[in-house]
Structure 1
């Protein structure tokens, strides 16, 4: 399965308009073949920053949506609305904690990305029903609140390797509010938001 993490910094005067467009677009994306999950989250630490968290059956399904009319609309408005963006495309690597799934089959033939590319190459995405984190992991993650679903949160962290992802996922899963922690292997990471600046 393919995970897409699209982080956008919205020009303040366009923030409400962007949310309206995003809410209107959600049912169309959910109806597309291969769309397993999609939600948008508002950063709790950075003003006017949103995270689109998507899970697709495969990369063909993820990229097919770019041919849709909504992509052309988004492209037309991008320069006016976006102050910056960062997109990470990843493959599921492992789960930690409740609801754990076995991703070993998906790992076969997994693209490794550019070995000379920038680190980190993994991330942890933890889905939660509460925004609070324990002190030992709070500084490692950025927390987001769902735009669509009240009382739903995501904690996101870049990690150096898969083992670090398992360790952090285990720490996160020890909190009763964490429902699942996905470790994902980054196969694409680009945009205009600096990686260091993306951290809380």
Structure 2
């Protein structure tokens, strides 16, 4: 699994343009083979800064999105007029686990943390 971490800061007056472009691209994004999910977060420390976090099955899926025609047009618009700053980080996900999905948790973590009772009840219902 690949994580794409896209930090961005729209130029003053261009925030609505960014959100409009992102909304237009979302239906296209969801059709890309290998796309898993995307969420956007706003910084609590730096107003006007955002982070888009997407997950992909593999690097080939990221490449399909990177080279998608509508996305290339949005990239151009972002670089030419929308963004004051951005940074992209692309990383392999080493482990993926949560409160009840513990298979990929390190063994020392699994042996130390016992599943909370409320999580055991929820897991038993499914």
TM interval, short-chain normalised: 0.7 to 0.9
Which runs of 5 or more residues in structure 2 are unaligned? 117-126
| CA 1:45–1:55: 2 relative to 1, 3 Å | same
The structure with more radius of gyration: 2
Task: Identify which of structures 1 and 2 has the higher relative contact order when contacts are C-alpha pairs closer than 8 Å and 6+ apart.
Answer: 2
Query: For structure 1, which runs of at least 5 residues remain unmatched after alignment?
Result: 105-161, 175-200
Q: In the alignment, what sits opposite 1:70?
A: 70
Alignment check: 8 A CA contact 2:8 2:85 kept: yes
Report SS of the residue matched to 2:36. Answer: strand
Instruction: Normalising by structure 2, report the TM-score.
Output: 0.74
In the alignment, the residues of structure 1 paired with residue 96 and residue 53 of structure 2 have an alpha-carbon distance, to the nearest angstrom, of: 16
More helix by share: 2
Cα deviation code 1:143-195 (max 9, x no counterpart): xxxxxxxxxxxxxxxxxxx9xxx8xxx8xxx9xxxxxxxxxxxxxxxxxxxxx
SS at match of 2:47: coil
TM-score, length of structure 1 as denominator length: 0.48
Q: Which one has a larger percent strand, Structure 1 or Structure 2? A: 1
Is the CA contact (8 Å cut-off) linking 2:41 and 2:52 kept in structure 1?
A: yes
Runs of 4+ in 1 over 6 A off after TM superposition: none
Superposed CA RMSD in Å reads 2.4
Is the 1:7–1:86 contact (alpha carbons within 8 Å) kept by the matching residues of 2?
Answer: yes
1:15 alignment counterpart: 15
**Aligned partners of 2:102, 2:90: CA distance in 1, in Å?**
20
